[in-house]
């Protein structure tokens, strides 16, 4: 009997006009979106490759330690999954780079799989389910079905299973077309981890639209007319899709306010810039006076030629000058340390408060299934907030490696020539440590996204149970 109800629900849905519209709409939108995002990914890969070549060329010809930090900053290469999900990345230049040349990509960003699932598919799910119960009551078919010795349990299960299968068909076909477009492009190469991540995202999408179908069934079983059911369904959709996710940051900032970031950054800049220079010059002057008392001949004013001759021919002068440089450097290092500690205390406190506010906002937004699926999809595709944290971790590892390399290299240069300006002299850095981005392991991404899966599953169980209980008590007369 259950099989018969499922088959009937499938037939009624598949041969309906709304199924045809949903089917065509999904195929067209997914195909166009994937084609555009794939083309965009290939262009970004080419641009990234050219940018890396330009950096290597600069490093071969003009590298010196005072300027190289801004040139070889770690950057994330375009990810293959951006053919489906745009997301965000630590390298995202939309806010500054793209807006300076063309504001439209910022004002009207391209849609992606996350948008299609969260907005389009959720609406389709509600449009298929809002009249599943009350609509049949209006037509008189619900009373007829239950008079044929069919239990209400079989009817509600059949409707839910049949409806979900109806949604599954166009969604699966449209995704298959999208994946075909990606794999036909020679500039895109998906690895096993990408396919594994896609499998989990697909599972999350199924849970997501199942949730909205169950909501539609629940609302339908609480109303006795299709017109009132559709209005309630749209209200619930707006609440879950628009209101909760968008209000969550403001609610979090109201419950746990943080200081103005602009004000804090201005204060930190004053400490690490003007404050550091003043303290550095003061400490360096004190060290210089000590060295002049120890080596009076260092106070002599020499031109460049005479200075180089004394450095090369007078071991005592060379040793004294090297000691003077070391003392000056110690003074500036001490100034940097003192001011950095002051700035670090302020920055850590701000970061602590911001992290707490972000977590609070995330927890509040998780009341919406849209947020749960968005976090899940972007974190699995390495285009979400988790990847930014992960990128920061591997960036810190590289910064430590390059800092150690820089110290050793400058020490070697100074050993060969004590008078050299190690910060502003061009240096061969072909042996420098290279930054290599590697995506986080799939297992790590799964553990991180597990709470979002759990919330979606709980939501499905809650509204499936609510649908079942409501239909059991539903008056079909």
Answer yes or no: are the C-beta atoms of 427 and 409 closer than 8 Å. yes
Q: Is residue 275 part of a domain?
A: no
Q: What sign for the dihedral angle of Cα 111, 117, 118, 121?
A: positive
pLDDT, residue 99, reads 42
Which range marks the domain in which residue 57 is found? 2-253+439-472
Residue 135 within any structural domain of the chain: yes
The verdict on residue 377 lying in a domain is no
Please give the pLDDT value at position 235. Answer: 95
List phi, psi (to 5°) of 72: -105, 30
In a domain, 200, yes or no: yes
**pLDDT average per 10 residues of sequence, the chain (477 residues):** 83 90 94 93 91 86 79 87 83 45 58 93 93 87 78 88 92 95 91 93 96 94 91 95 93 89 87 89 90 85 82 86 88 91 89 90 94 94 89 90 88 82 82 89 92 96 93 83
Identify whether 352 is part of a domain.
Answer: no
Q: Is residue 48 part of a domain?
A: yes
Residue 83 DSSP label: G
Q: In this structure, are residues 10 and 165 in contact, taking their beta carbons and an 8 Å threshold?
A: yes
Contact indicator for 121, 459 with CB cutoff of 8 Å? no
- Pairwise CA distance, residues 470 & 477, whole Å: 15
pTM for this predicted structure: 0.81
421 in a structural domain = no
Instruction: Determine, yes or no, domain membership for 55.
Output: yes
Domain total in the chain: 1
Say how far apart CA 57 and CA 346 lie, in whole Å: 39
* Helices marked H in 95-243: 99-101, 104-107, 113-115, 122-129, 134-139, 141-146, 152-184, 192-220, 226-238
The Cα 422–Cα 288 span in angstroms is 20
């Amino acid at each position: 009997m259950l099989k018969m109800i499922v088959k009937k629900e499938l037939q009624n849905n598949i041969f309906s006009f709304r199924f045809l519209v949903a089917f065509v709409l999904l195929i067209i939108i997914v195909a166009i979106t994937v084609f555009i995002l794939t083309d965009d990914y290939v262009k970004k890969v080419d641009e990234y490759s050219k940018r890396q070549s330009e950096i290597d060329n600069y490093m071969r010809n003009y590298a010196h330690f005072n300027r190289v930090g801004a040139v070889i900053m770690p950057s994330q290469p375009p990810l293959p999954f951006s053919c489906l999900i745009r997301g965000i990345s630590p390298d995202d230049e939309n806010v500054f780079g793209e807006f300076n040349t063309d504001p439209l990509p910022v004002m009207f960003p391209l849609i992606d799989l996350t948008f299609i699932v969260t907005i389009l598919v959720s609406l389709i799910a509600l449009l298929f389910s809002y009249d599943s119960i009350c609509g049949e009551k209006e037509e008189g078919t619900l009373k007829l079905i239950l008079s044929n010795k069919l239990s209400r349990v079989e009817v509600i299960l059949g409707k839910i299973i049949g409806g979900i299968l109806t949604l599954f068909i166009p969604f699966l076909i449209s995704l298959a077309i999208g994946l075909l477009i990606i794999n036909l492009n020679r500039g895109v190469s998906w690895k096993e981890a990408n396919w594994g991540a896609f499998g989990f995202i697909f599972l999350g999408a199924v849970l997501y639209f199942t949730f909205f179908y169950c909501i539609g069934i629940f609302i339908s079983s609480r109303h006795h007319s299709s017109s009132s059911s559709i209005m309630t369904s749209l209200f619930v959709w707006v609440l879950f899709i628009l209101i909760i996710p968008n209000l969550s940051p403001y609610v979090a900032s109201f419950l746990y306010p943080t200081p103005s970031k602009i004000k804090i950054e201005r204060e930190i800049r004053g400490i690490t810039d003007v404050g550091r220079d003043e303290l550095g010059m003061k400490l360096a002057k004190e060290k210089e006076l000590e060295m002049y008392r120890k080596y009076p001949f260092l106070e002599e004013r020499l031109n460049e030629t005479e200075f180089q001759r004394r450095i090369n021919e007078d071991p005592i002068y060379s040793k004294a000058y090297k000691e003077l440089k070391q003392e000056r450097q110690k003074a500036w290092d001490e100034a940097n340390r003192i001011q950095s500690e002051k700035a670090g205390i302020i920055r850590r406190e701000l970061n602590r408060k911001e992290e707490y506010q972000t977590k609070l906002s995330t927890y509040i937004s998780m009341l919406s299934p849209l947020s749960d699926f968005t976090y899940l999809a972007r974190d699995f595709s390495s285009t979400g907030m988790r990847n930014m944290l992960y990128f920061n971790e591997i960036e810190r590892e590289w910064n430590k490696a390059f800092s150690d390399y820089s110290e050793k290299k400058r020490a070697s240069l100074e050993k060969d020539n004590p008078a050299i300006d190690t910060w502003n002299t061009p240096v061969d850095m072909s042996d420098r440590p290279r930054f290599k981005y590697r995506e986080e392991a799939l297992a790590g991404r799964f553990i991180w996204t597990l709470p979002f899966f759990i919330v979606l599953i709980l939501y499905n169980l809650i509204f499936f149970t609510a649908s079942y209980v409501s239909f059991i008590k539903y008056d079909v007369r």
